[in-house]
Structure formats: C-alpha cells, structure tokens
Amino acid sequence: MLSVAIVGSLIFMGAWSLAWRSRPYLAFGMFLGVAAAAALVAMVWFTGMRHMPVWLPALPVALVATTLFTFGILAWRWGRDA
C-alpha cells in the first residue's frame, strides 16, 4: 500500500509541475483539491471508520453535479436575454 502512495505522489508532483509552468491557476486548484482530500482522509482515519459506506465513493460526483445544477438554475434565473 505504501508503494501505491509513493507512485501516486510522484504522478501528482509531475502533473503539478507541468501545470505550474503552463497554468498556475490550475496548479493552485490541484493543490487545494489534494489538500482537501488529505484533510478528509485524516478526518475519516481519526474517527476510526472500519467499513466504508456505499454512498461515500459517489459523494464527490454528487456534489459536483448538485453544484453545477445550482449554478445552472442561477444563471437561467439571473441571466440576461440575448
């Protein structure tokens, strides 16, 4: 399991360094995403969760879909007529 973490870290660092050269905003977003995921993993590990709930792996997709749906409704309601 440690080797998977090391390989994942190396892939992230390579992708991050390429993103930093071409698009610093993308690299900053990648850093914030990894930091948020690390904080979430630390909280789950701290609580001592033994079994992963079925809904937990799908939670990020559901949050993104809900956020985009909400922004779409707001843009539709507040948008200007073309």
Cα 73 from Cα 15, distance rounded (Å): 34
| Band of residue 81 on the pLDDT scale cut at 50, 70, 90 | low
Residue 82 confidence class, pLDDT cut points 50, 70, 90 = low
Domain count, the chain: 1
pLDDT tens, 25-43? Answer: 888 888 888 888 888 888 8
Q: Which domain holds residue 67?
A: 2-78
pTM as predicted: 0.53
Output the six-digit token pair for 37.
Answer: 């995921």
